[in-house]
Amino acid sequence: MKKGRVAVLLSGRGSNFTAMVRDSRRADANFSIRLVISDQENAPGLRKAAALDIPNYCLPPGKFSGKDAHEKEICALLEREEIELVCLAGYMRLIGPVLLEKFAGRIMNIHPSLLPSFPGLHAQRQALRHGQKISGCTVHFVDSGLDSGPIIAQQAVRVRADDSEDSLSRRILRQEHRIYPRAIRFFFSGRLQILGRTVIMADK
Ligand code: GRF
């Protein structure tokens, strides 16, 4: 089976990245992770990529003349590896026009809330402060806004009365690790279609 070529962009821990690699190495997987790019030299995710034998690069934005130049370099790496889908996994920057145009409809992100509730930083803390009873996570296509693109998959997670930010984040993260690889599989099944704000799974 020809496998879809995926790059992961990350800034930190990289647990979603390792969950994707685990899934991609199952016999029935239709994708493989070919490249990791980070904006942070010390991102643990970069070390995990090296340990998993996946080509990894650090491109610190400070070394470029601006956002466009930074993203052009990212695009050059993506094109060199013939990447078909870019997955943001804890990548702490907004994607600009250079990358968005080159990979229109081919950039995904995961966010630890049921969007459109609680975009941005500390989504789990925001959910607790708001007294939400059900939180969760969302995989969505990336557009120029903050966590605002068309939704591909969501998983609800019940908020417990005694939850801390930490305990809730841990339960949500477990679900992130399930739904993100699944969304990637959907993408490479060729059945995902973006109709305005709505993502549908076309019949086979
Ligand atoms: C996850 O909670 C993800 O939803 C958010 O950033 C976090 C990244 O975690 N966008 P990890 O680096 O994948 O462990």
Ligand 1 centroid distance, CA of 89 (Å): 6
Beta-carbon-side half-sphere exposure of residue 92 (alpha carbons within 13 Å): 11
100-134 pLDDT per residue, tens? 999 999 999 999 999 999 999 999 999 999 999 99
Residue 202, pLDDT > 90, answer no
Active-site residue flag, 122:
no
User: Does the beta carbon of 173 sit less than 6 angstroms from any atom of ligand 1?
Assistant: yes
Catalytic residue, chosen from 111, 122, 130, 177, is 111
Please answer whether residues 184 and 6 qualify as being in contact, where contact means their C-beta atoms are separated by less than 8 angstroms.
yes
The pLDDT value recorded for residue 56 is: 98
User: Does the beta carbon of 147 sit less than 6 angstroms from any atom of ligand 1?
Assistant: no
Q: How many residues does the chain have?
A: 204
Show Cβ contacts of residue 25 under 8 Å, excluding neighbours closer than 6 positions.
none
In this prediction, residue 1 has a pLDDT band, given cuts at 50, 70 and 90, of: confident
Nearest to 192 by CA among 204, 180, 174, 181: 204
**Neighbour count for residue 142 (Cβ, 10 Å):** 24
This prediction has a pTM of 0.97
Nearest to 91 by CA among 46, 137, 154, 127: 46
In this prediction, residue 94 has a pLDDT band, given cuts at 50, 70 and 90, of: very high
Please answer whether residues 108 and 183 qualify as being in contact, where contact means their C-beta atoms are separated by less than 8 angstroms.
yes
112 vs 119: CA distance, rounded Å: 9
Q: Give first-to-last CA distance, the chain, whole Å.
A: 17
Gyration radius (Cα) of the chain, Å? 17
E strand segments, the chain = 4-10, 31-38, 56-58, 85-88, 107-111, 134-141, 151-158, 192-195, 198-201
Please answer whether residues 8 and 89 qualify as being in contact, where contact means their C-beta atoms are separated by less than 8 angstroms.
yes
The pLDDT value recorded for residue 99 is: 98
Q: Are β-strands 151-158 and 134-141 bridged in parallel, bridged antiparallel, or unpaired?
A: antiparallel
User: Does the beta carbon of 12 sit less than 6 angstroms from any atom of ligand 1?
Assistant: yes
Average of pLDDT values for 166-171? 98
16-67 pLDDT per residue, tens? 999 999 999 999 999 999 999 999 999 999 999 999 999 999 999 999 999 9
